Amino acid sequence: MYSKTKIAVPIFKKNKKEILKIAKEYVDKGIDIIDLRIDAINKPTPKMVKEIIQEINFPIIATNRIQNEGGSFKGSDEERIAILEASSEFAEYVDIELQNKTEDIKSIVETGVKTIISYHDFKKTPPLSEMLNIVKEELEIGDIAKIAVKGNTLKDTIDILAISSKCDNTIAISMGDLGSYTRAIAPKFKAPITFAALDDVTAPGQIDFETMKWILNLNIIDADKLIK
């Protein structure tokens, strides 16, 4: 029994040539989805990014992360959203943060592309009730909810597992070494996507792709079958 959770691997490179080279290597290694970090590209334009996605010709998450959620994009909000709108024509998913303006999120959703509505906190794990409300709001807007927060205690990581157990179509991650196991255990909660790393590590606690692939494809009997 193989995992239905797809492994996404980020590309965080400055120029088109590097991106295309790395993308081919990643596809050859057997990844499921490329998380294209547009915010890493030097002076990206809608035309350039659309061409990159077309040339890669592989399932892609178009991510243009805002700075206060760990991103590197240096342009205006208008430029950032325009790039995501252009990406939507060929990307498998567009990742857009919940804290964006309502009209900006709506403009992406209305393109018809599948969306990942995301929330990141690189300092702490909010209370469980607050995180559940965040995920609920994300799922009301887009196709997949994503919440990635810093795990400072074991309880923080367990709260993330609670999110995974209660919420469908949700990527719930406890960032950092303490919570790295939440990435590997994602298939047990039927998470649609988990994130691993090859060349670029874009969040603390990301597991190496080959290790993640091995873990996710272990033929483990489900606990409910054992109970029977």
Residue 144 is assigned to a structural domain of this protein: yes
Q: Which CATH number is 36's domain given? A: 3.20.20.70
Flag whether 226 is in a domain. Answer: no
Domain limits for position 209 = 6-215
Q: What is the C-alpha separation between 224 and 228, in angstroms, rounded?
A: 7
Residue 228 within a domain: no
For the chain, list residues with pLDDT below 50.
Answer: 1-2, 219-228
Residue 1, domain member (yes or no)? no
Report the predicted TM-score, pTM, of the whole model to 2 decimal places: 0.89
- Is 225 part of any domain? no
Domain count, the chain: 1
E strand or H helix at 43:
none
Model pLDDT, residue 227: 34
pLDDT at 215: 76
Q: How high is the pLDDT of residue 200?
A: 62
Instruction: Report yes or no on 227 lying in a domain.
Output: no
Catalytic machinery residues: 120, 146
**pLDDT at position 35, please?**
97
| Residue 134 · residue 125 · CB < 8 Å | no
Give the per-residue pLDDT at 3: 60
pLDDT for the residue 208:
80
Cβ contact 121:100 at 8 Å? no
Residue 224 forms part of a structural domain: no
Taking only the tens place, the pLDDT of each residue in 24-63 is 999 999 999 999 999 999 999 999 999 999 999 999 999 9
**pLDDT reported for residue 214:** 78
